[in-house]
Amino acid sequence: MSASELLRATIFHTPADAFLIPDALRAHADGGVLIRDGRIVAAGDYSRVRALDREAVTTDWRGGFVIPGLIDAHIHFPQVRIIGHLGRSLLDWLESTALPEEARMSDIAYARQTARAFVHLLASHGTTTALVFGAHYASATAALFEEAAARGLRVVSGLVLSDRRLRPELHQPPDAAYRDATELIARFHGKRRLLYAVTPRFALSTSEAMLEVCQTLRREHDGLRVQSHLNENVDEVAEVRRLFPWAADYMSVYERYGLDGSGAVMAHDVWPTDAELERMAAGRTTVAHCPCSNAALGSGIFPLRRHLSAGVRFALGTDVGGGTGFGMLKEALQAYLMQRVTQDGFSLNASQLLYLATRAGAEALRLDDEIGDCQAGKAADLVYLRPEPGSALAAAVETSDDLSATLAALITLGDPGCIRDVRVEGVSVFQAVVPS
């Protein structure tokens, strides 16, 4: 018996930066992905890939699509239950909606239940890798890591650190934060498919002593990632300027404590200065662009063209629960829509949207040697989508004779109901129950 599997479907992936390489999209109408021992051996036209291994068992998904596992570059696990509280702006929403729910994570049974639901929702939406804000409690953050490991997902996360301006039960003294984070790093960083990210919530809620703890953690351990929020909302930006009078701008607060550069992912960046963009590009700090959240919280419109012009890299994040759900294809569509109605917006094409939902996230997390597209040697993290018979997607796909247009239709209409099978290293982490 061969240990290889050959998936047969229409395949889309972007093995290069779709903003730099105009034809970054690889599309194969009758495609094959050959998998052995959890790795991609080859991806391309079915007949060519078939010839590489006559023994491989074919999984016939013709009529459906295979894309790389989706990568969510910004999401909050304790906020699963508060999606859809519309009508508020960031600081007001935090106080009234997000923080009370986050305080409930002190109850470990509740936190574990939440972590399990969260991980299931990632998998069932085709998200195989996520950069996740943990909880303010070490035990709840550990529960997230454990549930992700049990499910087999790739999760990069960390204890959320804050010592002011939230609510007292969410604050930790910096020395306790250091101790708890160090313990979590020892338990989870680099274990299974998990990595640790130093996670100051945002400059507003972290004193300089806490930012120093973050800097120390990053110095003391190899390969930690960093995540936080940046320039999301005009009132937040003004308050950060007031709290850090020595800082020229918001980003320089993080820079002073070594929380920038490759492996650092800053969510939102709706209101950057040119100087910040210039320094972020030079240092390779990445932005997590969260268009659904930016609209839902009224934060503003992401200055995408300015990021591109400055050379700042960005990927997509759902920002659940400020955002509107787990769907990364929906997030890509929202990015497209908002840019379309923005003066000086950038008209994103299907290839760029797929790139932003997959490979760009892998690059942001410095995991692009391992995941993000279907090149030979990469982990077989894949999503299989199939249009429901009679659906608008089925109709769009049937009549399309252009694979870019088909991909655009898939991004526009590919809701979670289309997701049939989700693989991490070739193994299913989610399979839809299809009525027979």
| Chain residues that interact with Zn ion, rule: CB under 5 A | 267, 319
Q: Please give the backbone phi and psi of residue 55, each rounded to the nearest 5 degrees, phi first.
A: -85, -15
368 binds, among ligand GUN, Zn ion, none (CB under 5 to 8 A by kind): none
Alpha carbons 289 and 237: distance in angstroms, whole number: 17
Alpha carbons 422 and 368: distance in angstroms, whole number: 19
Given the complex with ligand GUN, which of 163 and 232 has the nearer CB atom? 232
- Residue partners of 109: CB distance under 8 A and separation at least 6: none
99 binds, among ligand GUN, Zn ion, none (CB under 5 to 8 A by kind): none
CB of 200 to Zn ion, least distance (A): 12
Contact present, 393 and 413 (Cβ < 8 Å): yes
CB of 163 to ligand GUN, least distance (A): 14
Report DSSP letters for 52-110, one per residue. Answer: H-TTSEEEEEEEEEEEEPEEEEEEEGGGGGGTT--S--HHHHIIIIIHHHHHGGGSHHH
Output the residue with the shortest Cβ distance to ligand GUN. Answer: 322
154 binds, among Zn ion, ligand GUN, none (CB under 5 to 8 A by kind): none
Lookup result for tokens 């850090």: 244
CB of 117 to Zn ion, least distance (A): 18
Given the complex with ligand GUN, which of 232 and 276 has the nearer CB atom? 232
Q: Which residues bind ligand GUN (CB under 6 A)?
A: 76, 90, 94, 98, 201-202, 229, 232, 293, 319, 322
CB of 233 to ligand GUN, least distance (A): 8
Rg (CA), the chain: 21
Given the complex with Zn ion, which of 146 and 319 has the nearer CB atom? 319
232 binds, among ligand GUN, Zn ion, none (CB under 5 to 8 A by kind): ligand GUN
Given the complex with ligand GUN, which of 229 and 330 has the nearer CB atom? 229
Given the complex with ligand GUN, which of 270 and 422 has the nearer CB atom? 270
CB of 217 to ligand GUN, least distance (A): 19
Alpha carbons 298 and 87: distance in angstroms, whole number: 8
Handedness of CA 232, 235, 238, 243 (dihedral sign): negative
